[in-house]
Structure 1
Amino acid sequence: MVAGKINSNNPNSQSLFENPFVKTLSIAVLMGVFLVDMGLGLFEIFSTKSSPLPSAFVLMIFAVMFIGGMVFYERQGLDTMSSLIGGVLAGFGLSFVFVSLVGGVQFALGGGISNNIGWEQVISAVAACMIAGVIMLKALSYKLQNHFY
């Protein structure tokens, strides 16, 4: 047996993440936690009426995402103006996601879940987001599968 390998010497054995149940469940849990954390972050931002990050960090995040998005869209063959617009949209979108995620973590670490919402509601929200996430993934994969034939 080779040190550092996860799977066994059996060539017919399947890695844990090759199992479709484990793969779908792990994606659903990550999507559920991610979406609920963003929701808690928005709750934190609107209740405190302030950003969880300093403006300089938000601007830096936007700049990095803008440049990355612009380069990505240029590599996909878009003209300069379209890649600039795509970079702006990517910068705004990913900055919004990052700021709301940080706000959600601050809300949770600050005791907001125990004091304001309650763990039962948060767990129910994660479960609902897991279900919605799997439905969206399956619908999207079905739509893309039929689109490319």
Structure 2
Amino acid sequence: MPEINSRQKTAIAAGQKVLNSVNGTPKCLVFTSPAAAAWAQNDTLAAGQKIPAGSRILSNCAVSCGALGASVTFDLGLRHFVTGAEVDLDGIASNVASATAGTYAANNGVLVAGGVDSVTTVDTEPVLTLEAANPTDDIQIRVEIWYLPPG
């Protein structure tokens, strides 16, 4: 049976360096909701923390939350750290049902799902957007974004 070489093995064989965004030490950026929040549909919870350009978002991100309410979903994505312009607001997770309390995998967005190989091109800030219905006030949310930073 033939062996198929990865992009990384091919690069190494060609004398190229493997970047930290491929083989490095992962970091976890965590952000949490305030103790009290009068949530409304389409509200955004912003991390206020930077993921540097050249980072690879990993597919083991998660959102832990209380019961957000019937029909509530969330998107998890990235926006430009300085300007706030959209990079991909559902690039990490899209339309994740979160009506009941639990920990939800945040890995079905176009930046991480299906073997996609993408690295951030600008400094970004993670954001979570509550959608589809009016969320329950004061429910707590914790977001964990795993990424490989650049070298």
TM-score (structure 2 length as normaliser) = 0.22
Higher strand share: 2
* Higher normalized contact order (CA 8 Å, seq sep 6+, divided by chain length): 2
Question: Which structure would you say has the larger Rg?
Answer: 1
As a proportion of its length, which structure holds more helix?
Answer: 1
Give me the TM-score of the superposition, normalised by structure 1.
Answer: 0.23
